[in-house]
A and B are shown apart, each in its own frame.
Chain A
Amino acid sequence: MSSRKKNPVWAFFASVRLALFLLFILAATSIFGTVIQQNQPAAQYVKEYGEKTAHLFQVLELTDMYNSWWFLSLLGIFSLNLIVCSLERIPNVIRLVKKDNLTIKTEQLARMKIRKTLALPLPPEQSVRRVTDYLHGRGWKTTKREKDGGILLFAQRGAWTRFGVYIVHLSILVILIGAVIGSPTFARKVLHNEKFAFKGSIMIPESRETNFIYSFANGKKIDLGFTVRCNYFTIEYYANGMPKTYLSKVSVLENGKPVPLKDGSTVHDLKVNKPLTYRGITFYQSSYQPYSDFLTVLVDKKTNQKENRIIGGGTQIKSKILPVSFGIINQEVRGEAVQRIKIWFSDNQADPAIFWVNNGQKAIIKRPSGEYELTVKQLYATGLQVTKDPGVWFVYVGCGMMLFGLFVAFFMSHRKIYAFIREEAGQTTLIFAGSAHKNKVGFEKVFSRLVDEFQQQMA
């Protein structure tokens, strides 16, 4: 225990007792935040818990406890404990891994739990070759030394697996580092660059575009550096009325021109679970807002001239390019969603056409002046959550490391095999012995199979 000689602060952070205490405290305090609803308006707490308790919550920052100074400090101490604890023990592990195992006293082999003594019909030198070749053939690379009137062979596998638990410890640190890098608070308060990492949202009505979003942290605008347009938004429903898909068709524009995205198209189908990432900024479908206005597309079937307009319910407009006017007389609504729309359409050459059409469905209108196609659709805005998290890859790498490290730490072990060959009274004897630092039962099976097959080979 070299830590006793070192300073007491180091010793404090190197103790597993502290780790156990911190794990317990982290677990216990985390419960508060699941019982007390987090990040509600202050008045809500007063209403629910009374003035005094609400004040106490405020003082202890229990209303946003996972970002409170004391919880973050606990995580900080936990990290420090993790680092010091590991640093304290790793040199020992390195020593174990690098150890010269051939220095073992041969009498010790006879006392090892997993061992087998065989008599061999070959002289010692030949036996050594046979054993070496055999072990090598099974993936056990041997080293050799003459000692105690015989030859000692040694082979080991999985020495590195002793580091498994430290891979797990490191993975937790990597995840925490990733969390700090990706934290909007860190970007704002420490880096003074809120564009480095942020979370926010924006509502974009169909056919409109934006080059900024609103930060969740303070409601301020954050410039995107490019433009996002919502071309179209729709909700599909299942037969039982449950929502099936929220779909936004969005485009990214640079200098006013649509940019081809990953799949080569300039329009991305943005859905829940199918976000869009552009220049490190990711857009998620998160909400929507129906309006009482309508998005209209008018097409002249002969010339394919097209006109997009937004009009209000109960109003009419005159086309700017075609000799027609149209308007919305009435609509049928379920909840906030328009189902059918009653349209008035005229080219001033006969009585105006009046008809019902389903929301978003094409209507073909034959008039004396030509054939027209009109689509009228309730106007929606899509609500996007927008995130820039440059730390997320650290987090993912950390997660991968953790699973790998746990597997190594739990299910793999450092296994050693010794073979000592000596001539005693004209007879060559071979002692096989082995050890594993974990899963001894499993290793015993491997060991006896190895020895049995060797015996068969010799026979």
Chain B
Amino acid sequence: MNSSQLFGITTLCYLLSAVFYVALLVFKKKKVGTIGLGFAIIGVLVQTAAIGLRWLESYQMGIGHAPLTNMYESLVFFAWCTTLFYIFMEFKFKARVVGAFVMPFAVAAMAYASFAKRINQQISPLVPALQSNWLLAHVITCFIGYGAFAVAGGLGLMYLLKKSGIKKGKKQDSFTGSLPELKVIDDLTHKTIIFGFMWLSAGIITGAVWANEAWGTYWSWDPKETWSIITWFIYASTLHARFTRGWSGSRIAWLAIIGFISVFFTYFGVNFLLSGLHSYGAS
């Protein structure tokens, strides 16, 4: 058994989990949701083992380092953070059907990592710039934030669907009827954004400290840095709009979605469309 086989099993588990969560949305059978959660948990456990194994494999190759250093590894880690964050949320807030809006993100990340041609799955050694203790702190803080924002984006989408369902006057037994109350979704979105914002800030700060150690500049407005601050501005204004101007509901839901698009671009778009210091994240 090697790590890539385990990652394959993980992808399968997440896929099944997503399918069952969507089925829960449609059929509203409690059991179906429990199966979805079960697959998500198995998936996360297998993936944890896989990440650990890949770490070990890198040591066996004599180039030991944490598996957080290229696009493949970051996608895998993104899926792991998102799923873990979601499971934690399900236990804490008991809003099971949210999984239908979150697990597809995890599946997409794993599938893209495994099947896209441009993604290199090899374990490669660390170039000098990446040989730093800040690597772990920076990547982990950023990706916990990204995971939370993915969940917030899913919640925003869910809110808008539910709301349009209500507007059309659909009955409770319709597709959107099984979603949690609008108030509950709204509250969860807000809490998730707060959590993500904290970690995004920490991610930007650890990145700045690292950049200063490596290059003597804590901020150089390279596209990745700039997009991270754009994302930060978007969530900062979302929080201010809510705290001081009482925004809630659809407007916050839209901001959660726009915020996640910005996160997506920071993470992904910058690497593929723009050039800059983060080039090692691109393949």
Contact = CB atoms under 8 A, between A and B. Distances in A.
A58 interface: no
Interface string B209-252: 10011111111010100110110011011001100110000000
Given A396-B209, A399-B208, A399-B209, A243 B127 contact: yes
B260 interface: no
Given A16-B244, A34-B223, A238 B125 contact: yes
A233 B230 CA distance: 40
A202 B114 CA distance: 44
Contacts of B279: none
Nearest to A21: B237
Contact of A395 (B202, B218, B223, B237): B218
Contacts of B208: 395, 399
B201 A406 contact: yes
Contacts of B245: 16-17, 20
A410 B235 CA distance: 14
B218 A272 contact: no
A402 B205 contact: yes
Interface stretch (B25-33, B128-136, B153-161): B128-136
Interface in A239-296: 240, 242-246, 271-273, 275, 282, 284-286
Contact of B213 (A243, A245, A273): A273
Interface residues of B, number: 41
B274 interface: yes
B230 A30 contact: yes
A199 B216 contact: yes
Interface string A8-47: 0000000011011001101100110111011000000000
A387 interface: yes
Contacts of B213: 273, 275
A399 B216 contact: no
B194 interface: yes
B128 A246 contact: yes
Given A19-B240, A20-B240, A23-B237, A406 B205 contact: no
B14 interface: no
B237 A20 contact: yes
B234 A179 contact: no
B78 interface: no
Contacts of B217: 199, 387
Contact of B205 (A23, A284, A386, A399): A399
Contacts of B198: 403, 406-407, 410
A273 B213 CA distance: 5
A224 to B, nearest CB: 15
Nearest to A439: B191
B205 A245 contact: no
Contacts of B201: 402-403, 406
B110 interface: no
B197 interface: yes
A243 B128 contact: yes
Interface string A80-103: 000000000000000000000000
Contact of A406 (B132, B197, B227): B197
Contacts of A392: 212, 218
Interface string A181-206: 00000000000000000010000000
8 contacts: A16-B240, A16-B244, A23-B234, A27-B234, A244-B125, A402-B201, A407-B198, A410-B197
Return the 8 tightest CB-CB contacts between A and B, nearest first. Answer: A387-B216, A27-B233, A272-B128, A23-B237, A34-B223, A273-B132, A399-B205, A16-B244
Given A16-B240, A16-B244, 11 more contacts: A19-B240, A31-B230, A34-B223, A238-B63, A273-B129, A273-B214, A275-B213, A385-B215, A387-B217, A392-B212, A410-B197
